[in-house]
Structure formats: C-alpha cells, structure tokens
Amino acid sequence: MSDLQNDRLIRALLRQPVDRTPVWMMRQAGRYLPEYRATREKAGSFLSLCKNTELACEVTMQPLRRFPLDAAILFSDILTIPEAMGLGLYFETGEGPKFRHTVRSAAQVDALPRLNAETDLDYVMNAVSAIRTALGGEMPLIGFTGSPWTLATYMVEGGSSKDFRHVKGMLYGQPEVMHALMAKLADAVTDYLNAQIRAGAQVVQIFDTWGGSLTGPAYREFSLAYMERIVNGLIREHDGRRVPVILFTKNGGQWLEPMAETGADALGLDWTTDIGEARERVGDRVALQGNLDPAMLFAPPERIREEVAYILSRFGRHNGHIFNLGHGITPDVNPDHAKAFIEAVTELSPAYHQ
C-alpha cells in the first residue's frame, strides 16, 4: 500500500494495526458545508451536480480541505442505477427522491434493461477517475451503491415510504416477482461496483438503508442473500491491493452475525447498536464502522468529545474500528461541530493503538 500516503482506512478495514482510529463521515460532502451549497447552486440541480465530473470532484474534495479525514467518498447518489434504467429520477424540495415510473408487475420487472455500468453510468466512472487524480495518492477513495432491497423500495413505491405497502405487498404476495427484481438489481449493482473499482475506487460500501424495515426471515431472503451474492461477485484485488467491502444495514444491529458471514470485510453500525456489544458478538471476523448518533453533532463540542471517548472505550484496544457516524451527517449541522468530532477521534484514539 506504499502508493497511499494515508492507508489507515484500508488497514483498519482489514483488521490490521494502525496508529489511530481512521475516521470519515457518511455524507461528508453535503449541504452542511456552505461551499457545497454554492457548488450545487452553480450546477443547477442535485442530479446535474452528480453528472458534472468537475463539480462532483470539487464537492468530494471540499471536506478534505477542512478536516483531517482518512478517506474521500465518491459524490453521487444511491439511486443512479434505477435512474439509468429509465425510471425518471427527480427531486422534490423537502421530499426526497421520486420516480416518474414505478415497477410493480412481472412484466415491468422483465422490461427493465440490463445495464452496462461503464457506458450507462459513465459519468460516475468519470467522477471516480477524476477524484483519484485529484487525491494524488493522499488517501483512499470509497465507492458505493444502494443495496438491491433499498433500490427496490424506491422503484416499487416511486419514492420514499413510511409503510412500504407496495414493495412489501410484492414481497409477501408475489415473492417470485420480487426475487426476479432482486436478481436483476444484484447483477446491476455487482457490475456497477466493479466498474467503480476498475475506475479507481479502493474501498466500496453497500448502503442497505431500508433493510431494517424487514422481518428477520424477509431480511435474510430478500436483502442479505442478494448482498452476499454481490460481495461474492466483486473484484477483491485491484492494482495489487485488497479492495475491502463494507456492508451497512440501517437498523440491522440484530443481524450482525449473519451479516458477518457474507464475506464482507466490515459492517457499518447505526447508533442504536452498542459497538462494544457488537464486537463481542462478531469478534475478529469483521471490522466495525461507526457509530456516533448524527444528532450528537448538534451538542456542544465538549459533549461531542465525551461521546467520541465513550465509543472508543466501548470498542477498546482492538484492530478493526473505523470511526463514523451511525448514518449521514444532517444538513443543519455547524461545520465546526463536525470538526470537533473528527478532531476528537484523531486526538483520543492513538491511546487505543499503542
């Protein structure tokens, strides 16, 4: 890993010794930064920003100029795959993503095109390549995707949902149609992540945002099984280096043991799971990423520091901890509080690695 000036993240993901706990934030390039808001305004819309190589690269680099982070994460969206399948992604202010077309029948699942990520999502690969160049080997770049189940929730519901009535109706009432959709999405996601890895992503994360909405049996059958299929289909060595995979199911703390059996290198934890208990359950099988409550960043900096100290103490003196929030940073956070969080990790964590 000599070509990376800072390889803490990759070493920690592979449960190797590090000098301090690496730290990055989900949504670290985002609306809490005034420079991001200015760049998004310049782009005209969120999707235009994602599709503009120069501006996507710019917003990826913005938090790295402010904070002592240990990784860059590709600026993109989890819904790029269904957007490329022609479902008409758009964003309503204050309402999140929506699709003009839904997928609710066997015929509609069959009609979904098979994607070639390198051509159909070339703007993502262009961004990955440009960010790698801009990083100049300073730190690793994380690529990502939504999980098949999470993509399906948006595709079937047509947007965000409180009760998932359409997608769960399909899962329980037409399981064969749901499996057909999951299989198609798993293939697309595998291709998409492998294209990101070939373009320069050195770590990849699968965001299973809505896996925690399922029952245990449904989670294992319709979410976890397809994420395991993806993990097994990924390029795991590239440019002479292992490419670690992080699996993150929000509200999935009850399923850590089966998640640890998928072949992923690390599991992301949201803030509802105690990281010390999680480590006791999975041992050294996987690294753990997390898990400060994002709302803690609304507290005073000294309280943020206390919570960082507590989470570090709960994980203890072991290899394989990547510090992160339990979900994405929220738009109204003061950047100085994000700085206090990151600096607390960099200052307090070396004591656990001596």
Residues tagged active-site: 27, 31, 40, 77, 154
Is 119 marked as binding a ligand? no
Output the DSSP codes for 267-329: EE--TTS-HHHHHHHHTTSSEEE--B-GGGGGS-HHHHHHHHHHHHHHH-S-S-EEB-BSSPP
Q: What is the largest CA-CA distance in the chain?
A: 59
DSSP 261: T
Is 272 marked as binding a ligand? no
What Å distances lie between residue 224 and 73, 115, 138, 186, 255, CA to CA? 23, 22, 34, 11, 9
Is 209 marked as binding a ligand? yes
CA distance 24 to 176: 39
Of 341, 351, 343, nearest to 316 (Cα)? 351
Is 327 marked as binding a ligand? yes
Going 257 to 263 to 267 to 272, the CA torsion angle's sign is: negative
CA distance 50 to 45: 9
Is 31 marked as binding a ligand? yes
Residue 123 structure tokens = 């703007």
Is 27 marked as binding a ligand? yes
Residues of each annotated binding site for substrate: 27-31, 77, 154, 209, 327
Residues of each annotated binding site: 27-31, 77, 154, 209, 327
